[in-house]
Amino acid sequence: MRAIGEVEGRAQGVVSALDEAVGPDGTLLMNLGARDDFTWVNDHPEEERAALPAGSAPFDYLNTPSDPDNGVLAEVFRQTAGTSVNDHPDARFGGRGRLARQLLADPPWDDYYGPGSLLERFVNSGGKVLRLGADLATVTLLHYAEYLVPIEPKRRVRRHHLVLGNNGSEIRTVESLDDSAGIVDYPGEDYFAVLLRAYLDTGRAKTGTVGHARSELIDGADLIEFAVAWMSAHLARYV
């Protein structure tokens, strides 16, 4: 929103404009994430986590606010009437439109960005990534490419989450590729940013200005194909 600048209706005005842009037959998806007051336990050794005091609200996919790092637009999108959300503390997305429920349904608990995930469905459905003045290192779709790239070993993580279950709060574990620090130790700038800059330099994205924000519209399947090739060429040496 800071990049776009002043908008009539503020963040809600942006959501309305996106609805109008895709039309009644289109679909919008947004990465919401979740505010997590319990995430600090994952800084402790794994054998200590389950015994640590919770003292915070469990993840409730219908009511937990979006991750503050995703900005006000994500939270306004989540709260807008007609938005559906999926049930995952690490991979919560919101969706609006014709394919929203289909894309959001039954997210895999582990490896939630990999095969069978919303990201795979998004690519197979011809989805496009719209970046509105966003940082170069913030394309969530690139996590799907991390699962597809044929290099081993890839760094993995196991996290503990406090979630709302059928009988109240419970601690559950999630295992996945490391989508925070990366699947390898890549020196210097975040490799998502380096990769995306290289992709944009090919001229294959549609570019323009939304408000004051330099923006890009990127074909998801094309980006994944490029990303897998780039990761194969640039990450394998750091395995």
Number of other CB atoms surrounding residue 25 within 10 Å: 8
The whole domain housing 17 covers: 10-238
pLDDT(54) > 60:
no
Structural domain includes residue 47: yes
Q: Phi-psi bin for 22: left (phi > 0), alpha (psi -120 to 50), beta?
A: alpha
Number of other CB atoms surrounding residue 6 within 10 Å: 9
What is the predicted pLDDT for the residue at 51? 74
Structural domain includes residue 1: no
Q: And the tokens for 147?
A: 């699962």
Structural domain includes residue 92: yes
Over residues 18-37, the pLDDT tens digits come to 999 999 999 999 999 999 87
What contacts 128, CB < 8 A, 6 or more positions away?
217, 218, 219, 220
pLDDT, average across residues 42-67:
83
Structural domain includes residue 154: yes
- Overall domain count for the chain: 1
Rounded Cα distance between 238 and 185, Å, is 6
**Peptide bond just before 153 cis, omega within 30 deg:** yes
Structural domain includes residue 182: yes
Is the Cβ–Cβ distance between 215 and 207 less than 8 Å? yes
The pTM for the full model equals 0.94
pLDDT(12) > 70:
yes
pLDDT, average across residues 164-173:
88
Tell me, what DSSP letter sits at residue 66? Answer: P
Over residues 60-113, the pLDDT tens digits come to 999 999 999 999 999 999 999 999 999 999 999 999 999 999 999 999 999 999
Q: And the tokens for 66?
A: 């979006």
Structural domain includes residue 5: no
Structural domain includes residue 18: yes
